[in-house]
Amino acid sequence: MIDAPTPESADAASAASTPVLTVDGLTIGIGSRNNVKSIVKGISLALTPGRVQGLAGESGSGKTVTSLAMLGLLPSNAVVGGSIRLTDPEGGDTELVGMSHRQLNEIRGRRIAMIFQDPSSSLHPQLTVGVQLTDHVTRHLKLSKKQAREHAIGLLDRVRVPNPAEALGRYPHQFSGGQRQRIAIAIALACDPVVLLADEPTTALDVTVQAGILHLLRDLADERQLAVLLVTHDLGVMSAIADDIAVMRHGEIVESNVRHNIFANPQHAYTRELLSSLPGAEGFQEVSE
Amino acid sequence: MRTKFRYVAAAFGLTASLALAGCAAAAPEASDSIVIDTAFTLETSDPGRNYVPTGYMVSKALYETLLDFAGSDESTPVEGLASYESNDDATVFTFTLKDGRVFSDGSAITADDVVFSLNRVAGMTESKANFLMNGITVTKIDDMTVELSTETPSLKLPALMTNPSLAILNSALVIENGGTTDDSDAAEAFLNETSAGSGPYILDTVNFESQVVLTENENYNGDEDIDFTRVVIRNVSEAATQKINLEGDDSQVAVDLSGDQVASLSDGINVFSTPSAQTIFLLINQSEEVGGVTSNPDFANAVRYALDYPALLELAGAGSEQATGVIPPSFLGALENGVDQELDVAAASLEASGYDGESITLEYPNDYPVGGVSFTPLAERIQSQLADAGITIELAPAPFTTQIDSYVNGTEAFSIWFWGPDYADSANFLPFSAGQKVGLRAGWTAEQDTDVVNLAAAAENATNFDERETAFSNFAEALQQRGPFVPLIVPGSNIATASYIDGVAYNSTWTMDIAELQAK
Amino acid sequence: MRKRWLKIPAAWITPLGVIGAVIAVAWVGIAFTARLWVPFDPLAQDLPRLQAPGIDTLMGTDALGRDIFSRLMTGAGVTIPLALMLVVMSLLVGTLIGAIAGYFGKWVDELLMRLTDLVMAFPTVILAMVVAAALGPSLFNAVIAAFVVSWPQYARMTRSIVLGLRTQNYVMAGRLMGFSPFKTLRVDIAPNVVGPILVLASLDVGTAILLLSGLSFLGLGAQPPTPEWGSMISAAIQNFDSWWIGLFPGLAILTVVMAFNFVGDSLRDIFDPTSQVSRAGARS
Amino acid sequence: MGNTPRATRRYSARSPLVGYLLRRLGTSVLLLFGVTIVTFALANLVPGDPIAAALGEGAASNPATVEAYIKERGLDQPLPVQYVNYISGLFQGDMGISLRTAQPVASDLSKAVPATVEIALLAIVVSLGVGVALGSLAAYRRGKISDQLVRVFSLIGLSIPTFWMALVSFNFFFLQLRIAPGSGRLSPALAPPPTVTGFYTVDALLAGQWVTFTDALAHLMLPVFVLSLFTIGLLTRFVRTSVLEVLDADYVRAGRAKGLSGPRLLFGYVLRGASLPILTIVGLAFGTLLSGTVLVEAVFAWPGLGSYAYNSATSLDLPGVMGVGLVVGVVYLTINFAVDLLYGVLDPRVRLA
């Protein structure tokens, strides 16, 4: 049973803790020198530890590009404006926009991690799960082979992958879709990041498996005080675990509020339109185990 | 990505320096090892079975024959392992071995070795050198003397005995390794690995595709004194590569250089240019159904007088001469001077031959340069010269192996071929006569010219020296007037050597005697 | 009414493609017109022998005193038309066999494809050489030998395309409407085959020229005195010091083959979607 | 010379690796059988009369010698019988006697094949190294100047006539610059090392003969350089396409998201992913290399399979041509088989379907 926070307590929690990642007036354009097609036209949102920030919108709204911008994974012909600030553990902020690839590599996977839509293609088909779980850990945390292995087994156990020790030696194609996404999550959490970006994490999975993954994400957020950005077009998924929801259309955030308010009384016409497209959309729905 | 390039760049740097090291190893100082580059025609190192130039060169160094030649004079054989006298009608020849001569394993050379060696070649019908012993019977007189006899007079026999195919083998050793005097002989495998002769060198290693290595025979007690203890004969088929290797000091002797190449050799390289004993000639078929219009004697005459010989000679370069007839210059009975171009005679003969402009195919082997003269440019020049004289020619080159088939079977209407002596005696050129082997290949039957047949017989059976000489020159003259052959060029033999090497003497059979090479 | 120039789609104008096309057209032009404007008769042997390139003879003379520049230009008229003819022959036969194998499948496919595998089991030059030697050396036999080794690649490519398309709905629909097999092949399948085949053909012209000149270099192709590039290079071996005899025919082959490779390569980018350049946009 | 690379090899996940390989082995043997029939037919279609050619002028006209020769070689029996004799002989390793070298074809080839394979292997290694480097660079810097330059360079590489390049480079590096050694596999003053593998470089190393090793390596430089030029062109193009496809794969983006970059990402993820298609083209490139050797070996007087094939074909040496056809077929099929094998090793999805 996902114990979704009741509306009142959610608001109180968000006011108290300071955001770990703030996006302020972010603009993203793609194209060569003269004709730049702008995709994201100035959006702002903040990710706070322990809370799941939803980013909803149809495909082409720029939501995935926004998530990619946070890790600097945009293609070479992308032009990024505005600011994305990550708060350091010792206080103070680091500006990610414009940071060099070498410096970004210290943050990617180490402080901000990401999982992708299709687990069957985001895991390397020719590398064992063990290798993919430890190769970046040895780089970031300078752990020994043995320590990294222990750490990996712990992670797999946490994400409920059956007999983890034996799983390390096996290849992605020997796991089910759900298990593969769990492994991807384990990989993302390997270096204990503060922010987890999830780009359509359940879209490629069948419905029965989706709930398990969402449940896991929710628990991890609470348990590790992880700031999660959940990017999806599926408001049903959003309603399950998102604390706050921002609705994006053509590169702009048209409405951003606590989940309850979005579902209870959507302000913007586009939000209402999105909600009406939900099957059996009589307002707020509780997703049960 | 940049680090990637440093690895790759370093790798290239390393290999380049290695190449330099490799090259420095063969610095050009006069070591006692010598490298000879030649286009291999090597199938066996068993002298009894060999019939090709490179094979002769190797056999000459490994084995000795009853008689020999002094330097490059091939007119009169001199003593080799034995001296000889002959009876007055040249049918019995008695050879007396020099005493004390030994094989490479130290055992003495006796009459038994001579009898075995000669009978072995006579008995092995499948050996290509078998025909050399036709009509010769070998009888042992005593340990040191052997008698060779023939039914008909054979003034050419002494010359035959200089041929390395009739080299004297160590009979005990060869018999022990499967040697017999008939087709059951199985000594070839043994002789392909080790030599059983008395020559100045012994066989070290042999690979018929790439190279043969000869080393000094310690037990040699003949009169050659060799300067090089290790000789490598290498198969370099391209004359151009031979030249580069010689100039790059990768080799010390290049055997098959052409006239043009020798002309542009860099200085500090010795060149020994002499006319070889080969003759390049045009064959004009005399049989009606094979050649059609070519069978008309006038056509042959038309071709004979239409050609511009100096312009053809230009292609052969240094050391080459215009052929004066079927007998090459250094041989008994060779004619003084060859044919000159006479266009009006050519036009008249062409008219008389009934040629009406149809295209005639000129066939020739295109992968077998003779004395450095490759046949393709020669054929192209003949084609254009005959075109000027009104005869349209079409070229049809083919590899030696396919072309020799139609040549041997006499089905070539018009072709370029060459003929070299099997042994150093003018009797070699009698097969050009009507009804003889080469004559027949041009469809020239005995009936067509009985006069020439008689001339040939006279030369064959001459019993004394002067009578033989006039008979051969009459034969050569007759062929020049009405034979189906137009001798073109005697290509030069251009043997080029490093500056510090001397003692090269050309020989028509074994090209050069390696033992006579000296370091200045 | 505005005169309509040949409208070349903008996508085709790539720098490489243009350079390639210009050089290729120039060489083809030379091939068909050389005889008219060449300074000397390519077969006349009246110039001094082995002359280095100078003012009177642009590329020097060969061992018979023939002008190499004239032979080079007329040589284009020997090699290029033959290569084009060879490509067209292998294209037609190969595509036909591939289409039949792909379309009819079962034992037909198995038989034809095993035949293709058999031919492709040999390195091209070695098989071509054995065939040319067996037929006897001549330019015509060399073209046949080259044809024997060239058609399989077309067959294999067409078969894979046809196999892919056969199960498409619109092809099924056509057959349901009673199209005869050949009509289906012609109407539904052929247009899809044209693009990749065009790419393969333009690349194959280069390969054909290399193969034909290679066979002539080995003496199995053009017969003297035909001015053919491969045999001119092998003649250069006899006169190694006259570097110009072998150098220029080699450069000629290089430029022609390069031109067709440039054109083929650009066409490949246009017709072959998988390697489209516009891959940069992020997936949203 | 190289034909266009085949469509990327499709592997079927359903059949376990062993079944897949057995089937491949089956077709290979069948193909090999086809190869013997083709070469036998071709060799006997030949216009000239090889017997006269083999015996030479003098002997050919001596009927006794010709008769003995035909009897001994069994050339008088009908063709199918000759073919059966040939095949049954094959099983005892007897490939007949070459009409040209009068040696058993098997022993000729046992010397010729290693000589060619030594060049081909070194050329493949060099070409793969350079090809992967240039291909990856071009893919990483797609569209930029370096990509265009690499493309032009590889296209030029593909357009160079190998036989001409051999001549020009031999003349330039050996005659003019004197930095390359002469022709042949070894400087003649040096004896070949004791044969173990047949590769002079490896055998010299095994025998500890350093001078022979450096000399053999130096002699390999030019033929390898000439053959690599073409192969690099082929590999670079293919590596670029394969790396481009892999660069867009999700798992590479996931790798970047984990903070991996530079050589660790290139070798660990990108090239590992592109290894399968690259493997296919290496198998194909080996075929074009064998083609190239025919033309290169003639110029460098290299006693390899290429010059043996050329000499046999032009001198109508029937057993020789058949021996070459067989060996080339075997070498070719072994390579394809090895590629399939490596496929299984490199791709767990095939190995552990």
User: Tens of pLDDT along C225-272?
Assistant: 889 999 999 888 777 778 899 899 999 999 999 999 999 988 888 776
Return all residues near C258 (Cβ < 8 A) that are at least 6 apart.
C20, C23, C206, D155, D156, D159
Residue B369: what pLDDT? Answer: 79
Please give the share of chain A, as a percent, with pLDDT higher than 90.
Answer: 21
Residue D87: what pLDDT? Answer: 80
* Choice between B23 and B434, residue whose per-residue pLDDT is larger: B434
Please give the share of chain D, as a percent, with pLDDT higher than 90.
Answer: 18
Cβ-defined contact of D189 to B5 (cutoff 8 Å): no
Chain C nearest-CA residue for D1: C207
d(C-alpha A282, C-alpha A267), whole Å: 16
pLDDT band at D130 (very low <50, low <70, confident <90, very high): very high
Chain B nearest-CA residue for D52: B405
Residue C222: what pLDDT? Answer: 87
| Cα separations in angstroms, B358 against B297, B333, C61 | 17, 38, 31
pLDDT tens by residue, B185-223: 999 999 999 999 999 999 999 888 778 999 999 999 998
Model pTM above 0.80: no
pLDDT tens by residue, B223-248: 888 999 999 998 887 777 788 788 87
The answer to whether the beta carbons of residues D266 and D255 sit under 8 Å apart is no
| Cα separations in angstroms, A19 against A53, A191, A231, A256, D106 | 11, 20, 18, 16, 80
Cβ-defined contact of A78 to C282 (cutoff 8 Å): yes
Across B318-322, C9-13, D172-176, least confident range:
C9-13
d(C-alpha A19, C-alpha D308), whole Å: 77
Starting at the earlier edge strand, list the strands of the sheet with B279-284: B321-322, B485-490, B279-284, B414-419, B360-365, B393-398
> Residue D11 above 60 pLDDT?
no
> Residue A4 above 60 pLDDT?
no
Residue A9: what pLDDT? Answer: 42
Q: For chains A and D, count residue pairs whose Cβ atoms are closer than 8 Å.
A: 79
At D322 the three-state DSSP class reads helix
> Residue A13 above 60 pLDDT?
no
* Choice between B168 and D6, residue whose per-residue pLDDT is larger: B168
Residues of A in contact with C284 (CB under 8 A): 39, 59-65
Residue B362: what pLDDT? Answer: 93
Closest Cα to residue B362, out of B402, B403, B413?
Answer: B413
Asked if this assembly's ipTM is beyond 0.85, the reply is no
Put simply, the chain C residues between 229 and 248 with a CB less than 8 A from any chain D CB are: 230, 233-234, 236-237, 240, 243, 246-247
For domain A49-68+98-283, the CATH architecture is 3-Layer(aba) Sandwich (3.40)
Q: Which domains does chain B have, with CATH numbers?
A: 5-274+493-519 (3.40.190.10), 279-490 (3.10.105.10)
Residues of D in contact with C253 (CB under 8 A): 161, 164
Cβ-defined contact of A30 to C281 (cutoff 8 Å): yes
Residue B170: what pLDDT? Answer: 94
The answer to whether the beta carbons of residues B335 and B324 sit under 8 Å apart is yes
> Residue B486 above 90 pLDDT?
yes
What sign for the dihedral angle of Cα D172, D173, D174, D179? positive
> Residue A115 above 50 pLDDT?
yes
| Cα separations in angstroms, B114 against B217, B233, B481 | 20, 28, 44
d(C-alpha B432, C-alpha D165), whole Å: 45
Q: Sort C62 into a burial class: Cβ within 10 Å, 0-12 / 13-18 / 19+.
A: buried
| Cα separations in angstroms, B272 against B67, B268, B320, B322 | 25, 13, 12, 19
Q: Which residues face B149 on adjacent strands?
A: B92, B137
Average pLDDT for B30-55: 87
Buried b (16+ CB within 10 A) or exposed e, B187-199: bbebbbebbbbbb
Closest Cα to residue B44, out of B237, B233, B200, B193?
Answer: B193
> Residue D127 above 70 pLDDT?
yes
Residue B337: what pLDDT? Answer: 86
pLDDT band at D49 (very low <50, low <70, confident <90, very high): low
> Residue D92 above 90 pLDDT?
no
> Residue A283 above 80 pLDDT?
no
Residue D58: what pLDDT? Answer: 55
Question: What pairing do the DSSP bridges indicate for beta strands A112-115 and A21-31?
Answer: unpaired
Q: Between the ranges B138-142, B333-337, B364-368, where is the mean pLDDT highest?
A: B138-142
Return all residues near D215 (Cβ < 8 A) that are at least 6 apart.
B22, B25, D181, D186, D187, D190
pLDDT tens by residue, D245-273: 898 889 999 999 888 888 888 888 898 88
* Choice between D180 and C275, residue whose per-residue pLDDT is larger: D180
pLDDT tens by residue, C73-83: 999 999 999 99
> Residue D12 above 60 pLDDT?
no
pLDDT tens by residue, D59-73: 666 677 777 777 776
Q: Sort A146 into a burial class: Cβ within 10 Å, 0-12 / 13-18 / 19+.
A: exposed
> Residue B90 above 90 pLDDT?
no
B-interface mutation test, from D187, D195, D210, D213, most B Cβ less than 10 A away:
D187
Residue D2: what pLDDT? Answer: 37
Q: Which domains does chain C have, with CATH numbers?
A: 18-276 (1.10.3720.10)
Q: Between the ranges A257-261, B401-405, D298-302, where is the mean pLDDT highest?
A: A257-261
Residue D73: what pLDDT? Answer: 67
d(C-alpha B344, C-alpha C226), whole Å: 30
Average pLDDT for B89-95: 91
Task: Give A76 to chain D, closest Cα distance, Å.
Answer: 10
> Residue B147 above 70 pLDDT?
yes
| Cα separations in angstroms, B168 against A177, B68, B123, B199, B290 | 88, 12, 15, 10, 45
pLDDT band at B168 (very low <50, low <70, confident <90, very high): very high
* Choice between B6 and A51, residue whose per-residue pLDDT is larger: A51
pLDDT band at B16 (very low <50, low <70, confident <90, very high): very low
Task: Give A167 to chain D, closest Cα distance, Å.
Answer: 14
Chain D nearest-CA residue for A68: D257
Give first-to-last CA distance, chain D, whole Å: 37
The answer to whether the beta carbons of residues B173 and B103 sit under 8 Å apart is yes
Residue A284: what pLDDT? Answer: 47
Residue B197: what pLDDT? Answer: 93
Residue D195: what pLDDT? Answer: 85
C-interface mutation test, from B260, B382, B403, most C Cβ less than 10 A away:
B260
Residue D5: what pLDDT? Answer: 43
pLDDT tens by residue, A163-220: 888 999 999 989 988 899 999 999 999 888 999 999 999 888 888 888 889 999 999 9
pLDDT tens by residue, A232-276: 988 888 888 889 999 998 888 888 888 888 888 888 888 888 888
Residue C209: what pLDDT? Answer: 95
pLDDT band at D46 (very low <50, low <70, confident <90, very high): low
d(C-alpha B328, C-alpha B320), whole Å: 11
CA angle B302, B307, B308 (to 5 degrees): 150
Q: Which domains does chain D have, with CATH numbers?
A: 22-91 (no CATH), 112-352 (1.10.3720.10)
Residue D323: what pLDDT? Answer: 85
Task: Give B380 to chain C, closest Cα distance, Å.
Answer: 6
Task: Give D65 to chain C, closest Cα distance, Å.
Answer: 26
> Residue D83 above 90 pLDDT?
no
Q: Percent helix, strand, coil in chain C (nearest 5)?
A: 70, 0, 25
The answer to whether the beta carbons of residues C284 and A61 sit under 8 Å apart is yes
Q: What is the mean pLDDT of chain A?
A: 84
Across A152-161, D4-13, D99-108, least confident range:
D4-13
> Strand (E) positions, B30-144?
33-38, 67-68, 78-79, 82-86, 92-97, 137-142
The answer to whether the beta carbons of residues B444 and B451 sit under 8 Å apart is no
**D304 C-beta neighbours (distance < 10 Å), count:** 26
Please give the share of chain C, as a percent, with pLDDT higher than 90.
Answer: 37
Residues of C in contact with B367 (CB under 8 A): 219
Average pLDDT for B127-143: 91
Q: Between the ranges A180-184, B263-267, C126-130, where is the mean pLDDT highest?
A: A180-184
Q: Do chains A and B touch (3 or more CB pairs under 8 A)?
A: no
**C169 C-beta neighbours (distance < 10 Å), count:** 7
> Residue C283 above 50 pLDDT?
no
Residue B110: what pLDDT? Answer: 93
The answer to whether the beta carbons of residues B374 and C64 sit under 8 Å apart is no
| Helix/strand/coil (H/E/C) assignment for every residue in C230-274 | HHHHHHHHHCCCCHHHHHHHHHHHHHHHHHHHHHHHHHHHHHCHH
Average pLDDT for D14-34: 74
Residue C5: what pLDDT? Answer: 61
Q: What is the mean pLDDT of chain B?
A: 86
Please give the share of chain B, as a percent, with pLDDT higher than 70.
Answer: 94
Query: Residue ranges of the domains in chain A?
Result: 49-68+98-283
> Residue B504 above 70 pLDDT?
yes
Please give the share of chain A, as a percent, with pLDDT higher than 70.
Answer: 91
pLDDT tens by residue, D202-221: 898 888 888 889 989 999 99
